[in-house]
Amino acid sequence: MIKVSVLYPKAEDSTFDIAYYRDTHMALVRERLGGACKRTAIESGLAGGTPGEAPTYIAMGHLYFDSPSDFEAAFGPHAKEILGDIPNFTNVQPTVQVSEVIE
Amino acid sequence: MIKVSVLYPKAEDSTFDIAYYRDTHMALVRERLGGACKRTAIESGLAGGTPGEAPTYIAMGHLYFDSPSDFEAAFGPHAKEILGDIPNFTNVQPTVQVSEVIE
């Protein structure tokens, strides 16, 4: 199993509409990726690791697939539409990481 | 529910013993945090978001708690021991992020 993490950095002027992200963007993502996407998860950043420290990421979204090739095959045809929706909920560009789920 | 993410940055000379992390470090973490820690997850970084790009993080560990105060109460008394084990599996210092689980 692999996990595609979409990490939205927090900056001084960053904005993020978590309701739109959850209800509209992730619904679009799940619809377009279909059964290849086994699970999704969303988190909203609260804090860093020390008291009073801001979180590194204002929000994070995660998509699980059986393999990197499953992700690429599902995402590729819809990349333009999905990425084009990002400005509708945030003014920051995400960092993407593909990871192997160990446990 | 909150999620404490421990993100280990990938650098040119970074090392990470994922077997030790999974079998020894996370076992220690679960033992010390007890029932306050509802779930743990581990991932190993594979790639970034574009072809050939390295992952931002060489590995990630996640701990789930009911609240930030549950995390602080469980982690505080064992912080020194748990953090002191980090050099046994990696030469990098992690970034910690506390997030609210939205879904």
Domains of chain A: 2-100 (3.30.70.100)
Q: What is the mean pLDDT of each run of 10 residues along chain B (103 residues)?
A: 98 96 98 98 95 94 97 97 98 97 96
What is the reported pTM?
0.96
A6-15 average pLDDT score: 96
CB distance from B44 to chain A under 8 Å? yes
Q: Do B99 and A7 touch (CB under 8 A)?
A: no
In angstroms, rounded to a whole number, what is the distance separating the alpha carbons of residues B5 and B19?
Answer: 19
CB nearest to B56's CB, from A42, A44, A97: A97
Query: What confidence score (pLDDT) does residue B20 get?
Result: 98
Alpha helices in B23-94, H assignment, sequence order: 26-33, 68-75, 79-84
What pLDDT, on the 0 to 100 scale, is given for residue B10? 97
**Nearest CA among A18, A9, A72 for reference residue B95:** A9
B69 touches chain A (CB under 8 A): no
Nearest to A3 among B2, B7, B43 (CB): B43
Q: What is the pLDDT of residue B43?
A: 98
Q: Tell me which residue has tokens 């008291």.
A: A51
Chain centroid to CA A89: 12
Ramachandran class of B73: left when φ > 0, alpha when ψ lies in -120 to 50, beta otherwise: alpha
Average pLDDT, chain A: 97
Q: Count Cβ atoms within 10 A of the Cβ of residue B19 and give its class: 0-12 exposed, 13-18 middle, 19 or more buried.
A: exposed
